[in-house]
C-alpha cells in the first residue's frame, strides 16, 4: 500500500503516469485514425480517454471528444461497431466493413506500428541529444578463486583486446569468452598506462541472464567497473542507433513472452498496471531521460502485445483478415464474435492475474 500512498502524495508522479500511459494509448489510436483517413474511411468518434464524455466537438462528420478516464481511447470507424452507415450521414464507400481484407489489415496494423515508431523516435531523440553511453571493458570486482584472479587480473584493468581482437565495450567481453569453448585466451590489458598480455583459462560457471534464469557459461569471473564513455552521434548515426535500440527491445520483449509461454520464466514475474505505474513514478523521479527510456520500452510492449493473434486485439483482426485472404471469404460473423468474446475473457483473466501479482509483491 505504500506505493499507492506515495503516488497520490506526489502530483508529478500522477501526471507522469497519465502522460505516459494516456499518451501512448493516444498515439496508438492516432495510428488507426490516420490509417482510416488515408484511405477515406469515415470516422464517427475519436475519443481521448474512456467512459463518459466530458468535452467534445463535431468537425465535419466526426466527433472529437475527451472522456473521463485518461487511460484509454478509441477510434470508431463507420461500420466497425454498428451496421448503421447512411442512417448516421455516411456513405457505403466510407464504411470499413465494405473495405477489402488487405485494407482492414492495414487499419489494424497502424496502431501497433505507431507505438513501435514512437519508441524509435524516442531512442533517436535521446541518441542525438545525449549521445550513446558505452560501458567500458574495465575490470571491477573479481570473484575469489576465479580464472581472472588466478591469472593476475586486477581491479581497474582496462581490457584492450582478446586474442588480438580489439574490444571497445564491456558487452563484447562475455560473448567472446563464452564462445571460446574453454580454450586459453590472451587478454591484452592496460594497467598504469602500459599494455600487457595475460593468459586466462575460462571455466564453466553458473550465471543469471537478464530474465533471472540460471545458465552455465564459459566465464573468467569478473564484473564491470561501471565506467561509462559517452559518444556523441550525428543525426544519421542517431537514426541508426534508434533502429538498433528499438530492434533490441523488440527481440527482448518477444524472448520474454516466449519464456513466459514455455514456463522457463515464472508467471509471478508478470506485472500489471500497478507495477507499470510504480515504474513510471520511480523513473520520473530519476529525470526525463530515464522516464523517456521507460516510455519507449512500454511503447514497444504495447505495440507487440497488440499484434498477438488474440481476437479483440489488433493482431486478432489481422489474423481474421489473413484467413479471409487465404480462403477467399470472410470468417463467419458468429465465429468471430465468439472468438472475440473468448479473447476478451482471456485478457480480463490476464489483467486480474497481473494485478494480483502486483498486490502480492507488496507483501513479499
| Residues that are catalytic | 29
And the C-alpha cell for 305?
Answer: 502485445
CB-based contact 48:54 (threshold 8 Å): no
CA dist 278 and 21 (Å) reads 12
The interaxial angle of helices 314-327 and 333-361, nearest 10 deg, is 150
Q: For residue 248, what are the contacts with CB-CB under 8 A and spacing of at least 6?
A: none
Nearest to 172 by CA among 138, 149, 202, 145: 138
The contacts of residue 253 (CB under 8 Å, 6+ apart) are: 300, 301, 304
**CA-based nearest residue to 240, from 231, 252, 228:** 231
CA–CA gap between residue 201 and residue 151 (Å, rounded): 8
The x, y and z cell numbers of residue 63, run together, are 466527433
CA torsion, ordered 129, 24, 13, 228, to nearest 10 deg:
-30
Q: Is 155 in a helix, a strand, or coil?
A: coil
d(CA 153, CA 139): 8
In this structure, the number of other CB atoms found within 10 A of the CB of residue 41 comes to 26
Amino acid at each position: 500500500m505504500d506505493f499507492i500512498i506515495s503516488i497520490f502524495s506526489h502530483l508529478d508522479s500522477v501526471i507522469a503516469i497519465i502522460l505516459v500511459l494516456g499518451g501512448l494509448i493516444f498515439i496508438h489510436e492516432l495510428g488507426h485514425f490516420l490509417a482510416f483517413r488515408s484511405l477515406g474511411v469515415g470516422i464517427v468518434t475519436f475519443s481521448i480517454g474512456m467512459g463518459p464524455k466530458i468535452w467534445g466537438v463535431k468537425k465535419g462528420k466526426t466527433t472529437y471528444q475527451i472522456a473521463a478516464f485518461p487511460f484509454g481511447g478509441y477510434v470508431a470507424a463507420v461500420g466497425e461497431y454498428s451496421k448503421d452507415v447512411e442512417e448516421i450521414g455516411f456513405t457505403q464507400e466510407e464504411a470499413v466493413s465494405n473495405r477489402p481484407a488487405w485494407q482492414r489489415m492495414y487499419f489494424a496494423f497502424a496502431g501497433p506500428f505507431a507505438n513501435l515508431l514512437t519508441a524509435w523516435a524516442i531512442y533517436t531523440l535521446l541518441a542525438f541529444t545525449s549521445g550513446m553511453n558505452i560501458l567500458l571493458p574495465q575490470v571491477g570486482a573479481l570473484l575469489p578463486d576465479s580464472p581472472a584472479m588466478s591469472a593476475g587480473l586486477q581491479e581497474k584493468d582496462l581490457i584492450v583486446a582478446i586474442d588480438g581482437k580489439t574490444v571497445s565495450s564491456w558487452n563484447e567481453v562475455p560473448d567472446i569468452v563464452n564462445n571460446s569453448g574453454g580454450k586459453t585466451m590472451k587478454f591484452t590489458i592496460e594497467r598504469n598506462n602500459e599494455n600487457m598480455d595475460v593468459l586466462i583459462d575460462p571455466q564453466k560457471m553458473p550465471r543469471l541472464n537478464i530474465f533471472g534464469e540460471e545458465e552455465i557459461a564459459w566465464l573468467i569471473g569478473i564484473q564491470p567497473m561501471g565506467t561509462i564513455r559517452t559518444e556523441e552521434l550525428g543525426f544519421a548515426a542517431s537514426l541508426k542507433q534508434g533502429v538498433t535500440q528499438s530492434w533490441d527491445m523488440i527481440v527482448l520483449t518477444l524472448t520474454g513472452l516466449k519464456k513466459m509461454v514455455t514456463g522457463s520464466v515464472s508467471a509471478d514475474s508478470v506485472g500489471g498496471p500497478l507495477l507499470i505505474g510504480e515504474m513510471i513514478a520511480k523513473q520520473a523521479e530519476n529525470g526525463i531521460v530515464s522516464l523517456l527510456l521507460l516510455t519507449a520500452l512500454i511503447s514497444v510492449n504495447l505495440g507487440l502485445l497488440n499484434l498477438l493473434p488474440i481476437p479483440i486485439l489488433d493482431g486478432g483482426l489481422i489474423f481474421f483478415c489473413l484467413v479471409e485472404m487465404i480462403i477467399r471469404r470472410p470468417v463467419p460473423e458468429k465465429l468471430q464474435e465468439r472468438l472475440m468474446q473468448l479473447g476478451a475473457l482471456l485478457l480480463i483473466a490476464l489483467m486480474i492475474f497481473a494485478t494480483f501479482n502486483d498486490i502480492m509483491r507488496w507483501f513479499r
